[in-house]
Amino acid sequence: MELSRPSLTEPGVHLALKNALRKCGEFKTRYFNILFNIGMIFVFGCVLGGILLYKYKGKLTKQEIEIRNKREQEYIIEKVKQLSALNATDDFFELR
């Protein structure tokens, strides 16, 4: 005489619970992924916005433009002086 294993549930309940749990898992995974993606887009946007805000220099004021132009003129004049001094020494050595 074989003893059958006792079952505490009706024959179709096990399959129904298994399908319900599978659907709950799929639902959870789908919405977790959506929320995670939205969160990552938000974080990426904040980081990108922060970097762009940090790097933004804005328009130069009139004073800053004048200072920049003055520095450029001084740099050019200094290079011209160096070049003419170099040419003068080359001419001096060629005359000897």
- CB count, 10 Å around CB of 15? 9
Average pLDDT over residues 7-31: 90
Q: What is the tens place of the pLDDT at every residue in 74-87?
A: 999 999 999 988 88
Q: What is the mean pLDDT of the chain?
A: 89
pTM for the model = 0.51
SS3 content of the chain, % helix, strand, coil (to 5): 80, 0, 20
40-74 pLDDT, tens digit per residue, is 999 999 999 999 999 887 888 999 999 999 999 99
| Contact call for residues 60 and 68 (beta carbons, < 8 A) | yes
Q: How far, in Å, CA of 28 to CA of 25, rounded?
A: 5
